[in-house]
Amino acid sequence: MKKTVFVFSALIVSLLILFQLSKYAYAANDISVEIVISSIAIVFFVIGLYINRKATQNQKHLPVPINFKKIEQLGISKREYEVLVQISKGLSNKEIADALFVSESTIKTHVSNLLLKLDAKRRTQAIQKAKDLQILAI
């Protein structure tokens, strides 16, 4: 925050300096108008780049949008998707069963169906494929 204030103060000061310089240059007729305008343009272009870069850096992990259409296309049901999410969190079948208040048998059924629909041999492969298909947030 202090850094931001400092940067903006510096910007304002440099803008004022540019004003004075351009006036002086014009009065003295030393520098052509093209050079003055070009330098100003370049300076503020770079400032625009810099500011935007700082802003996008803070965004960082913009959550990947989940492809709901793909989920539907694959025929993955609501409950199956819930199980898939729990799998990706690293839970065991028993833990998922407890979290969703059903039996482990039920989870096994869901997992088997998921593996079929995702064309995966293992749950780890299912995680990988699901992320590739963007049906799981990374």
Partner DNA sequence: ATTGTTTTGGTACTTTAGTATGAGTGTTTC
Partner DNA sequence: GAAACACTCATACTAAAGTACCAAAACAAT
Site residues (vs DNA, CB under 7 A): 75, 77-80, 92-94, 100, 102-106, 108-112, 115-116, 121-124
CA distance 16 to 9: 11
x/- mask, its own copies, residues 81-110, rule CB under 8 A, reads ------xxxxxx------------------
DSSP 55: H
Residue 37 tokens, joined: 């305008």
Sequence-distant (≥ 6) Cβ neighbours of residue 11 within 8 angstroms: 47
Q: Which amino acid is at 14?
A: S
Which member of 4, 37, 105, 119 binds its own copies (CB under 8 A)?
37
Residue that has been written with the tokens 């963007």 in this structure: 134
In the complex, what is the shortest distance from the CB of residue 132 to its own copies, in angstroms, rounded to a whole number? 10
Q: What residues make contact with its own copies under the rule CB under 8 A? A: 15, 18-19, 22-23, 26, 33-34, 37, 40-53, 56, 87-92, 120-129, 131, 138
